[in-house]
Amino acid sequence: MNIATLREALLYCTIINFGVLAIWGGVAFLMPNEWMYRLWSRKLRMTVEQFNAINLAGIVLYEIVILMFNLVPWLALQIVQ
């Protein structure tokens, strides 16, 4: 695998992961999420506020991981080019 292929793969991974993040954020905050809360609150005892906080923390963590492992290496390879 050469650098150009790696650069292209990282770009596609970044785009796909941000798409997944947009869908997750849209489902979690723009649509009513009572069904998700009911599903998870059966197994885990939590309030709606706790569920929303955990969901938001997951979204933020996922975004940080995308930035660290996809976008930053892609930018570094773009600079090196």
Domain locations in the chain?
Answer: 3-80
Question: What is the pLDDT of the chain when averaged over all its residues?
Answer: 92
Average pLDDT (12-27) is: 94
Q: With 90 as the cut, is the pLDDT of residue 53 above it?
A: yes
Q: With 90 as the cut, is the pLDDT of residue 32 above it?
A: no
Name the burial class of residue 20, with classes exposed (0-12), middle (13-18) and buried (19+) by CB atoms within 10 angstroms of its CB: exposed
Average pLDDT (47-72) is: 95
Q: Which of 9, 6, 45, 15 is nearest to 37 (CA)?
A: 45
| Distance between first and last Cα of the chain | 16
Q: With 90 as the cut, is the pLDDT of residue 1 above it?
A: no
Q: With 90 as the cut, is the pLDDT of residue 30 above it?
A: no
Residues 6+ apart with CB under 8 A from 4: none
